[in-house]
Amino acid sequence: MGSVGSRLRQRRIARLWGWPRWAALPLRLSLIVGLWVAMLAVALVLEPPRAVEVLARAGHVVALAVALGAILVVDWHGLLWLAGRRSVTDVLRVSAATGPLVWIGLAGLCATGPLLVPDLGATPARVKMLLVLGAAVNGALLPLTTAHLRDVPVETVIRQLPRAVRRRMVQATVVSQLCWWGAVAVGLWTTASRHY
Ligand code: HEM
């Protein structure tokens, strides 16, 4: 009885978790845009003491290391797959393992960024905020692409994938690299122009 009850409960939780599938993506995207707008609103009003700003800069760099480190690992595995030295399963496993680190790193950057008193009236800061949004939206769309890889045979090479899937994978990788390295470049430029 107990096990039937717990199985039913588990099934109900699973249904709730996956329900409604069609709404998962719009919900995720609305959440990302909502959090992004909230972060900008907080950044506009915050005036933290100097000590908090210094700590936040350290946190910003740590979060950056976590996120970029994870992104480099997953992209490196993607390259090894292209070279025929990793299977599709390896790539999926690595991307599933590193995905949370990328989101944790991005959350850390967005939590510490407003404490660094960004000048949101300046073009570089505005560009950077759009790049941050681009990186988050691209990450949220990624499961749509990787879902196509789950059913292909382990030894599949990229040339054997449907053209649309290949195009989406390349697009996702290029957008991710542009957004992340663009945000890093603007961040470094801002620091250099403020302090040196
Ligand atoms: C993809 C996300 C982000 C990346 C990759 C990124 C990257 C960077 C980097 C590399 C620096 C230079 C750090 C240093 O040299 O000490 C920096 C500084 C900075 N970041 Fe970010 N950042 C991100 C998100 C944000 C967000 C969301 C905000 C604000 C809401 C923000 C605000 C700032 C500010 C104001 C500085 C300059 C701090 C200073 O030197 O006074 N960043 N960022």
On the question of pLDDT at 6 being above 70, the answer is no
Instruction: Please give the pLDDT value at position 152.
Output: 82
Indicate the number of domains in the chain: 1
On the question of pLDDT at 181 being above 60, the answer is yes
Distance of alpha carbon 157 from the chain centroid: 25
b or e along 40-74 (b: 16 or more beta carbons within 10 Å of the residue's beta carbon)? Answer: beebeeeeeeeeeeeebeebbeebbebbbebbebb
47 band by pLDDT with thresholds 50, 70 and 90 = very high
Domain contains 176: yes
Domain contains 14: no
Which residue did the predictor score with more confidence, 139 or 10? 139
Structural contact between residues 172 and 145, judged by C-beta atoms closer than 8 angstroms: yes
| Ligand 1 centre distance from Cα of residue 171 (Å) | 25
* Torsion angle of the four alpha carbons 88, 147, 140, 25, in this order, in degrees rounded to the nearest 10: 180
Residue nearest to atom 35 of ligand 1 (CA): 118
Q: Which amino acid is at 86?
A: R
- As given in the structure block, the two tokens for residue 20 are 């409604």
19 band by pLDDT with thresholds 50, 70 and 90 = very low
- pLDDT tens readout for residues 96-127: 999 999 999 999 999 999 999 999 999 999 99
Pocket of ligand 1 (CB under 6 A): 39, 43, 57, 60-61, 64, 109-110, 113-114, 116, 118, 132, 135, 180, 183-184, 187-188, 190-191, 194-195
Q: Is the pTM of this model over 0.85?
A: yes
On the question of pLDDT at 182 being above 70, the answer is yes
Domain contains 122: yes
Instruction: Please give the pLDDT value at position 22.
Output: 58
Domain contains 186: yes
Domain contains 18: no
Q: Which distant-in-sequence residues (6+ apart) come within 8 Å of 176 by Cβ?
A: 71, 75, 135, 138, 139
On the question of pLDDT at 13 being above 60, the answer is no
Average pLDDT over residues 183-187: 98
Domain contains 126: yes
151 band by pLDDT with thresholds 50, 70 and 90 = confident
Instruction: Please give the pLDDT value at position 1.
Output: 40
Domain contains 84: yes
Q: Of all residues in the chain, what percent carry a pLDDT higher than 70?
A: 88
Task: Supply the range of the domain harboring residue 175.
Answer: 23-195
Instruction: Please give the pLDDT value at position 91.
Output: 86
Instruction: Please give the pLDDT value at position 126.
Output: 98
Cα three-residue angle 163-164-168, rounded to 5 degrees: 115
**In terms of Cα–Cα distance, which of 64, 91, 96 is closest to 181?**
64
| Ligand 1 centre distance from Cα of residue 33 (Å) | 19
Domain contains 15: no
